[in-house]
Amino acid sequence: MTDAHRSDIETVLTENRTFAPTAGWSSAGPGAEPVTPHVASMEQYREMHARSLADPEGFWGDIANELHWFKPWDKVLDWSAPDAKWFVGATTNLSYNCLDRHIDDGHGDDLALIWEGEPMDGGPEVKRFTYRELRAQVCKFANVLKSLGVKKGDVVTIYMPMVPEMAIAVLACARIGAPHSVIFGGFSASAIADRVVDANSKIIVTADGGWRRGSIVPLKDNVDAACTQCDTLDHVVVFERCGNDISWHHEPSNSHGDKRDHWWHDLMQAASEDCPAEHMDAEDPLFVLYTSGTTGKPKGIMHTTGGYMVFTYLTSKYVFDLHPDANQVYWCTADIGWITGHSYIVYGVMPNRVPTIMYEGAPNHPTPDRFWSIVERHKVTHFYTAPTAIRAFMKWGDNHPRKHNLQSLRVLGTVGEPINPEAWMWYHRIIGHEKCPIVDTWWQTETAGHMLTPLPAVTPTKPGSCTLPFFGVDAAIVSEDGVEQPNNTGGLLAIRKPWPGVLRGILGDRERFIDVYWSRIKDASGEPYYFPGDGARRDADGYFWIMGRVDDVINVSGHRLGTMEVESALVSHEAVVEAAVVGMPHEIKGTGIAAFVTLGPGFDADETLRKQLREHVGNEIGAIAKPDQIRFTEALPKTRSGKIMRRLLRDIAAGVEKVGDTTTLEDYSVLAKLRESKEG
């Protein structure tokens, strides 16, 4: 870090510096056309926000009219806590709004999707699809799904690398009304099996492999292994990406007598390019996406069609200031396996008719400037990534972005975890050349889209704050008993009104849905607020500052993990008797994973076992869940009532010299032993 940087960080930290919204900003860059921002001023933002809360039905009804509906709604919102129904009685189709609407309007030959593969030998492999070309592929695959017996309402599991076919599969599901359940390609066979069983899914779409940092991720092998752990899967459709050796299952996997494995290209060859979009009720499910909670079992978050569509469309439009016909090129670096990819690679961006980029691989392959080379070559105007990536870029050095012309960039975004002011400043300077507004967007899998966020070139920004609520979002900081907190007092973040993207449930678990989100905070009259699980404070300007999770969920590199999930994975190993997992500060990941483990008799607390346990967690969940630190300990610190004292473990993992209050600790000798336990 240079001295100039360091002094700036100090300024930020001490003066809580505010960045003027339009300082140095221009809506047009080389190649891009000038645009007038959708929201012109803070005054207009405040007016629109006030209207969205006072008259949600009027506000969202007007917005929804910008999209295509087969049948209009009878009522915009039907709210009976905790159940929200949006656009009641209307029918629409999200794949139609992503594709057909533009073709019908004469834009069929505009660019919809740009894809770049990871391998670089002989230059990057790039594919481009117009709306017409993409629709043809989507319709073909929709017909493939139908030919395999998939009907409206059947859950299709998708476990794919970041290839165009992944977006095609997702949109094909939306076209025929088969909710998809996308599983991130980094998850393990057991994680696949759990999700497939939970959703009672009979078909999975995968690939032979995917490229990541020069190696092949063995997706088909993982699916084969998952199939030995669950018996609901009748069909496995395999896209050929890497040409690696895979095993093939010719036999039927069920009594229907169909063979199990199919090549994507064989099925596509016979499929027709014509597949009318199913008329979906606004409240028909669009997808389920699993995310971690406080128990060992991930929850299937359910989103429906109409509200999700309107909310992701509008947030994409306003938060990134997207305009068709302005030569904008939008790139979100997330994987479609996460909600960020669902909402801000595919569903929210495509209805805005701005081309969206998908990149297959790692940010540092073959060299640490790969992202900047993509920005330069594709003249990216909008770039959306996670703080963990920004911190990695900082570490790799300024020379990598400096090698490239980044002048096309207009708006920068961040998501997934709080961004530290140092990373914010680096992003602002080195990537944005002090000309691009940064939108720090706070939201969740459950919210479908942005909730607290600046509007670019409108909202003054402060490094580390996600600023103000988006339209329709009534956010507050409250105490445990629902009382609104004064400025600069930490509390629980709560959302008072339903918004169109609010989750509609947890698949198969109504009780958990109510417990987790709608029971913890209530107003004086007993009306429940939505509880996201985050702590936050609001400053004197009304700006929100997220302080992190207040439950046993940790945020590792912007990905949510339940500490219980990792603990269950650890204790499922024969050597482990008891395990406690906590988050700890991590330079790149934001939060790392620290595990405290007690072993059964006859097991040696050594490096070999440590390695084995890490691998074991990787096999049970996925590489992202592997602990950064494993400490062997004879006992875990517990209160007299038998609860593990996680606060104390967090202090120890963080290397805090003076650990927190230990007056309730049952056995003081445990503490001394814990301190001796070596990290590794």
Q: Which is nearer to ligand WT7, 223 or 319 (CB)?
A: 319
Q: Where are the alpha helices (H) located in 164-320, listed in sequence order?
A: 164-176, 189-199, 219-229, 264-270, 306-319
Given candidates 354, 415, 475, 554, which one binds ligand WT7 under the rule CB under 6 A? 415
Residues 458 and 40: beta-carbon distance below 8 Å: yes
Shortest distance, position 403 Cβ to ligand WT7, whole Å: 29
Query: CA–CA separation, 245 vs 265, rounded Å?
Result: 17
Does residue number 98 form part of the binding site for ligand WT7 (CB under 6 A)? no
Window 272-301: contact mask with ligand WT7 (x via CB under 6 A): -------------------x----------
Shortest distance, position 144 Cβ to ligand WT7, whole Å: 30
What Cα–Cα distance (Å) separates residue 12 from each residue in 16, 404, 421? 5, 28, 7
Shortest distance, position 442 Cβ to ligand WT7, whole Å: 4
Q: Which of 350, 444, 365 is nearest to 400 (CA)?
A: 365
Q: Which residues pair with 139 in a beta bridge?
A: none
Does residue number 501 form part of the binding site for ligand WT7 (CB under 6 A)? no
Q: Which of 302, 343, 327 is nearest to 382 (CA)?
A: 327
Shortest distance, position 423 Cβ to ligand WT7, whole Å: 12
Residues 443 and 415: beta-carbon distance below 8 Å: yes
Given candidates 349, 357, 380, 546, which one binds ligand WT7 under the rule CB under 6 A? 546
Q: How many CA atoms lie within 13 A of 378 on its CB side?
A: 29
Shortest distance, position 441 Cβ to ligand WT7, whole Å: 5
# binding residues, ligand WT7 (CB under 6 A) = 23
Does residue number 416 form part of the binding site for ligand WT7 (CB under 6 A)? yes
Residues 189 and 226: beta-carbon distance below 8 Å: yes
Shortest distance, position 548 Cβ to ligand WT7, whole Å: 6
Q: Which is nearer to ligand WT7, 16 or 572 (CB)?
A: 16
Window 441-480: contact mask with ligand WT7 (x via CB under 6 A): xxxxx--------------------x--------------
Q: Provide the token pair at 475.
A: 């956010």
State the Cα angle at 607 between 604 and 612, rounded to 5°. 85
Q: What share of residues in the chain are helix, strand, coil (percent, to 5)?
A: 35, 25, 45
Given candidates 285, 482, 533, 590, which one binds ligand WT7 under the rule CB under 6 A? 533
Query: What residue has token string 């629409």?
Result: 92
Does residue number 333 form part of the binding site for ligand WT7 (CB under 6 A)? no
Do the bridges between strand 411-415 and strand 382-385 make them parallel or antiparallel, or are there none, so unpaired? parallel
Does residue number 591 form part of the binding site for ligand WT7 (CB under 6 A)? no
Given candidates 116, 284, 417, 567, which one binds ligand WT7 under the rule CB under 6 A? 417
Shortest distance, position 52 Cβ to ligand WT7, whole Å: 21
Query: Residue 608 carries which side chain, given as an amino acid letter?
Result: T
Does residue number 340 form part of the binding site for ligand WT7 (CB under 6 A)? yes
Q: Which is nearer to ligand WT7, 29 or 532 (CB)?
A: 532
What Cα–Cα distance (Å) separates residue 266 from each residue in 240, 241, 375? 11, 14, 35
Q: How many CA atoms lie within 13 A of 312 on its CB side?
A: 31
Does residue number 532 form part of the binding site for ligand WT7 (CB under 6 A)? yes
Residues 303 and 282: beta-carbon distance below 8 Å: no
Shortest distance, position 495 Cβ to ligand WT7, whole Å: 12
Shortest distance, position 475 Cβ to ligand WT7, whole Å: 13
Which residues make up the interface to ligand WT7 (CB under 6 A)? Answer: 291, 339-340, 415-418, 440-445, 466, 532-534, 546, 549, 555, 558-560
